[in-house]
Amino acid sequence: MSNALSGSPLVKPLTKERILRAAADMGYRPNSSARAMRNRRFGAVALVLSTERTRSHLQNGLLDGIHSALGERDVHLTVASLPDDKLTAEGFVPKILRDLAVDGLLINYTDHIPRGMIYLIEKNQIPSIWLNTRRAGDCVHIDDLASSRAATDKLIELGHRRIAYVDYHNGMADPAPHYSVCDRRAGYEEAMARAQLTPRIISEPQTIPPEQRVAHAMGWLCDANRPTAIVTYSPYTAVPVVMAALKCDVDVPESLSVLTFAEQSFDNMGLPLGRCVLPQREMGSAGCHALFDKIDNPQKVQPPISLSTRFEWGGTVSKPPSD
C-alpha cells in the first residue's frame, strides 16, 4: 500500500488506482511529518524578507508565481521577515533551515544587503536563490539594462529626439541602490549615445518627497525646450509628471510621451501608462525551480536567470508633435 501511495512505478496502474480510491474513501491523508523524516526533507521553503519594507518589495505577481510553482511540487511556503542582526548572526544563520523547518530559501532582499548575510549563507552552503537581485549566480532578476535601452530605442524610432530620463523615486547620492536604479538609467544613456542624441537626466541627489514631485516636474515642463518624451524609473515618477503636465497645459501623449516600468497597469488617471511590463510572476516561478535544483545540489552555483520585459504602450506614448 505504501508504494502505491508514494507513487512508486513498481505498482500497476489499476492496482494503484484501486488503492488510492480506497484510501480516499477512508479519509486517509499522508502524514507530512513522517514523510519529512523519511525523506530528510521538510517539504517547505522560506521566503525571506527584510523587516524594512523598502528593502523587500513583494509584488502580487511574484507571490503568485511562487505559490504556483510550489503547488506543482506540493511544497509549502513559510514567510520569514527577519532583521539584519539575525541574518548576520553566526549563531542563527547556520541553523536557519532547521529553525524555520524548510529545505531552502527564496531571498527577496533587494538592496543594502548586509555583507555578513551573504557570507554566512555561502559559507554554510544554505540552498538559496536571490529574487530581484543581480548576482554572479543563484539569482533571478529582470534585465533592466536591456529593457530601458530597448524602450528608449522605441521612442527614438517614433521620431523623438528630446528624450529625458526622470527618477524622483531614488536619490542619485544613494551609495547602494537596487541594481535597477543604475541599469535603467544606463540603458537609456546607451540608447541615446548610440543615436548620437544628448541625454538629459532629471533627478536629485536625494529622493524627492511625493508631495513635491508635481511642483518639481512643473519646473521643467514649462521650459520651452522641454523633452517630447520621457523614460521614468517607476509609476511613482510617471504619475506626478502626468499630473504636472495637465497643470501646465502640456497634452499627454500629443506633446509629451511618458514611459515607465511596472508590473501592473496604472490607469487610475483614465490614461493607462505606457510601460515595460515587469515579469514578476515569471520571476517567482523561475526562482522556485532554481531553488529545487539548488536543494538537490547545494554545492553547485545555479546560473543567473535574466528575464526580459515586454512593452505595452498604453495611452501615454505617441509620435512627437510636428514643429
> 232: domain CATH number?
3.40.50.2300
Could you tell me the residue range of the domain that residue 87 belongs to? 40-141+281-307
Residue 207 sits in the same domain as residue 244: yes
Residue 52 sits in the same domain as residue 179: no
The phi, psi pair for 106, rounded to 5°, reads: -100, 115
pLDDT at 275: 95
Residue 56 sits in the same domain as residue 150: no
Residue 165 sits in the same domain as residue 290: no
Residue 123 sits in the same domain as residue 211: no
Among the residue ranges 173-177, 207-211, 216-220, the one predicted with the least confidence is 173-177
What value does the mean pLDDT of the chain take?
A: 89
- 125 inside domain: yes
Residue 151 sits in the same domain as residue 266: yes
- 319 inside domain: no
> 166 has which bridge partners?
202, 232
The phi, psi pair for 156, rounded to 5°, reads: -65, -40
pLDDT at 34: 45
Of all residues in the chain, the percent with pLDDT exceeding 70 is 88
pLDDT higher at 14 or 276: 276
299's grid cell: 554545492
Cis preceding-peptide flag for 175 (omega within 30 of 0)? no
Residue 57 sits in the same domain as residue 134: yes
Does the structure show a pLDDT above 90 at 186? yes
- Read off the pLDDT of each residue in 37-46 and give the average, rounded to a whole number: 77
Cα distance between residue 275 and residue 264, in whole Å? 9
- 287 inside domain: yes
| Rounded to 5°, angle at Cα 181 from 175 and 183 | 115
Cα distance between residue 242 and residue 157, in whole Å? 22
Residue 121 sits in the same domain as residue 269: no
Residue 204 sits in the same domain as residue 155: yes
pLDDT band at 2 (very low <50, low <70, confident <90, very high): low
Cα distance between residue 249 and residue 199, in whole Å? 24
Helix, strand, coil tally for the chain in percent (to 5): 40, 15, 40
What is the per-residue pLDDT across 54-96, written as a single tens digit (0 to 9) for each? 888 888 999 999 999 999 999 999 999 999 999 999 999 999 9
- 313 inside domain: no
Residue 26 sits in the same domain as residue 153: no
Please identify which residue in the block is written with the cell numbers 508631495: 211
Among the residue ranges 55-64, 179-188, 190-199, the one predicted with the least confidence is 55-64
Q: How many domains are there within the chain? A: 3
What is the per-residue pLDDT across 224-283, written as a single tens digit (0 to 9) for each? 899 999 999 999 999 999 999 999 999 999 999 999 999 988 777 778 999 999 999 999
> What radius of gyration do the chain's Cα atoms show?
24
Please count the CA atoms within 13 angstroms of the CA of 34 that sit on its side-chain side.
5
- 315 inside domain: no
- 273 inside domain: yes
Residue 68 sits in the same domain as residue 128: yes
320's grid cell: 512627437
In the sheet with 257-262, reading across from the earlier edge strand, the strands are 201-202, 163-166, 229-232, 257-262, 274-277, 310-312
- 321 inside domain: no
Residue 294 sits in the same domain as residue 215: no
Q: Within 10 Å of residue 129's Cβ, how many Cβ atoms?
A: 28
pLDDT at 6: 52
- 262 inside domain: yes
